[in-house]
Chains A and B, each alone.
Chain A
Amino acid sequence: MNLNETIRLLSPCLPPEVVSTLESVPALQEIRLRAGCDVLIRTSGDPVTVPCRTDAAQLARIAEALSGHSLYARSRECAQGFITLRGGHRMGLCGEVNREGGQTQLGQLSSLCIRIAAEFPGCASSLAGFAQSGILLIGPPGCGKTTLLRDLARILSRAGAQVSLIDERGELAACDHGQPQLDIGCADVLTGCPRPEAAAWLIRSMAPEVIVTDELGGPADADALLDAHACGAQIIASVHARSLNDAARRAGVQGLIARRCFGAYAVLDGSSPGRVFALYDRSGSPLPLP
């Protein structure tokens, strides 16, 4: 989805002052609406402030409209703090959180943050050769791991591999009505399912050659992916860490690294999105950068 399409998609749901500003800014990145404050638009250049104040009721209406009037049905996503919009964009939600009976529900909204999705086709082409035998992307938040994972899924699936994505939070493929909003090639996507359950599900139902998943967390994730690997699926995943040693200490990947489930490890540099600054083989020996 290009910028014009994005603006056309968002326009009916935003105040007219914001829409007229959107049409004149370069490379839109983010729109922030806060109750009682002016609207802030972040672009590739300087941020733009739009003198348009919204209250909590307006924010609720805007959120409702942007979600295509589906907020009521997406309470689980809302409880995670964001929902995925058409086009793969993300709407972050902030406000009063109510916790009742172990359930988190978002009550009155106080801020919305609409983050515009950007795709970089081909950004992972240098890693595709290593990814065929599984790869773990290691890096701090915001260094482009998800973008690389998405591109690896696209490249491998286009090359003929049976690729399945576990998209627990709807970030990888951003499916809307069953259709991925971001280019992941011809892959199967299981959205919204916890990773341990999803891995077993995919092995049972889709016979994947490659499983792609984002941000490994607890030991249950590692156990499920170990099982999937034992069933013959290669694993392409990412984890938050600064180095391979840091990653090896994390419960979500400790077992996977110890059992040498990944054919390679790519460490990403936080200073520049998508830049790989170290590459290791299955045993942890450094490899030359591609």
Chain B
Amino acid sequence: MIRPFAAVCAGIMLALAAFRRSRELRERRLRLARWEPVLDHLALLLREGAMNLPEALCAAGCGNGEPDRLLQAAARTLRDQPLAPLDALPALHKLPADEADALRGLLLRLTQGSRDSRVQAAERAARSFAGLSAAAGERSASEERMWRQLGPVLGACLTIWLM
């Protein structure tokens, strides 16, 4: 009795793991796709120069996505601890290394230099996120589908094999 139950559980868990991987890839693709419009908006606000940096970060990140939340966290840090370096923002640790590096560079350059250099930093980051997003899109389109289909099949195979 225990053996078939364990086999079914193992099969379900494998399928869930595959679904989870598929969801992660999809979320990363969506997150990366959100960065580009957010950073384009930020570059525009910085070019206009009508807002200070925390206000511009909040206005650019006015949605509910993860990029928006990260920019809002950066704005809060600037207001609460004006001397704290932004590139050490805790929220960066939760991101994959390539995204975190691009953001760390952006946040460092946003807090120093002339208006032009800050606008360029935001534009450059938008371009680099567009590149990451395109690469993630290509990868996830195939992998996401593969894991979604492979998950139940592998789960069923594992269940049968264990039984």
Q: Which residue of B lies closest to A62 (CB)?
A: B83
Q: Is the CB of A69 within 8 A of B54?
A: yes
Q: Give CA–CA (A99, B70) in the complex, Å.
A: 37
Q: Is the CB of B83 within 8 A of A70?
A: no
Q: Is the CB of B112 within 8 A of A64?
A: yes
Q: Is the CB of A60 within 8 A of B112?
A: yes
- A39 to chain B minimum Cβ distance, whole angstroms, is 15
Q: Which residue of B lies closest to A98 (CB)?
A: B114
Q: Does A204 sit at the interface, judged by CB under 8 A? A: no
Residues 31 to 66 of chain B near chain A (Cβ within 8 Å) = 46, 49-54
Judged by DSSP, the binding face of A is helix
Q: Is the CB of B52 within 8 A of A70?
A: yes
Residue in contact with A69 in the complex, picked from B50, B82, B114, CB distance below 8 Å: B82
Interface size class of A (residues with CB under 8 A): 10 to 19
Q: Give CA–CA (A284, B50) in the complex, Å.
A: 46
Judged by DSSP, the binding face of B is loop
Set of chain A residues within 8 Å of B50, measured between Cβ atoms: 73
- A53 to chain B minimum Cβ distance, whole angstroms, is 16
Q: Is the CB of B115 within 8 A of A72?
A: yes
Q: Does B149 sit at the interface, judged by CB under 8 A? A: no
Interface string of B87-111 (1 = CB under 8 A from A): 0000000000000000000000001
Q: Give CA–CA (A72, B55) in the complex, Å.
A: 13
Q: Does B142 sit at the interface, judged by CB under 8 A? A: no
Interface size class of B (residues with CB under 8 A): 10 to 19
Q: Does B78 sit at the interface, judged by CB under 8 A? A: yes
- B47 to chain A minimum Cβ distance, whole angstroms, is 10
- A165 to chain B minimum Cβ distance, whole angstroms, is 21
Residue in contact with B113 in the complex, picked from A66, A70, A72, CB distance below 8 Å: A72
Set of chain A residues within 8 Å of B78, measured between Cβ atoms: 69
Q: Which residue of A lies closest to B50 (CB)?
A: A73
Residue in contact with B83 in the complex, picked from A65, A67, A74, A105, CB distance below 8 Å: A65
Set of chain B residues within 8 Å of A60, measured between Cβ atoms: 112
Residues 49 to 88 of chain A near chain B (Cβ within 8 Å) = 60-62, 64-70, 72-75
Q: Does A241 sit at the interface, judged by CB under 8 A? A: no
Q: Does A12 sit at the interface, judged by CB under 8 A? A: yes
Residues 112 to 163 of chain A near chain B (Cβ within 8 Å) = none
- A49 to chain B minimum Cβ distance, whole angstroms, is 22
Interface residues of A (CB under 8 A from B): 12-13, 60-62, 64-70, 72-75, 105
- The contact sample of 20 A-B pairs, CB cut-off 8 A, is A60-B112, A61-B83, A61-B112, A64-B82, A65-B82, A66-B82, A67-B52, A68-B54, A69-B52, A69-B82, A70-B51, A72-B46, A72-B49, A72-B53, A72-B113, A72-B114, A73-B49, A73-B50, A73-B52, A105-B114
Interface residues of B (CB under 8 A from A): 46, 49-54, 78, 80-83, 111-115, 118
**Which 5 pairs, one residue from A and one from B, show the smallest C-beta to C-beta distance?**
A65-B82, A73-B49, A70-B52, A69-B53, A72-B115
